């Protein structure tokens, strides 16, 4: 949820944007780098989950997916549980 506010120069923006700009002044862009890493990591995790999902839906067992792809069996079983596959 964003809170609309007026920035010091009279420009309207969201509170989140203001916080990022202020943090950048203090931390020299480290906040943006950190957020980028979080978004990148989430994308990788979503991609892995999609690969596991695709293979499970093609009829492979969680054990086979783990063996073929090298993903931990627990991770594959978590995805399989979401799909109600045993």
Taking only the tens place, the pLDDT of each residue in 62-80 is 999 999 999 999 999 999 9
Structural domain that includes position 45: 4-82
Tokens representing 28 are 């020299």
84: pLDDT strictly greater than 50: yes
DSSP letter, residue 28: T
36 band by pLDDT with thresholds 50, 70 and 90: confident
In Å, how far from its chain's centre is CA 41? 6
Burial status of residue 51 (CB atoms within 10 A of its CB: 0-12, 13-18, 19 or more): middle
Give the per-residue SS3 of 40-78.
HHHHHHHHHHHHHHHHHHCCCCHHHHHHHHCCCHHHHHH
State the total domains in the chain. 1
């Amino acid at each position: 949820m964003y809170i609309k506010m007026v920035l010091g120069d009279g420009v309207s923006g969201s509170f989140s944007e203001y916080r990022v700009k202020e943090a950048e002044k203090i931390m020299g862009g480290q906040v943006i780098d950190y957020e980028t890493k979080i978004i990148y990591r989430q994308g990788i995790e979503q991609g892995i989950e999609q690969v596991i999902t695709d293979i499970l839906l093609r009829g492979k067992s969680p054990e086979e997916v783990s063996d073929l792809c090298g993903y931990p069996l627990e991770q594959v079983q978590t995805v399989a549980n979401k799909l109600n596959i045993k």
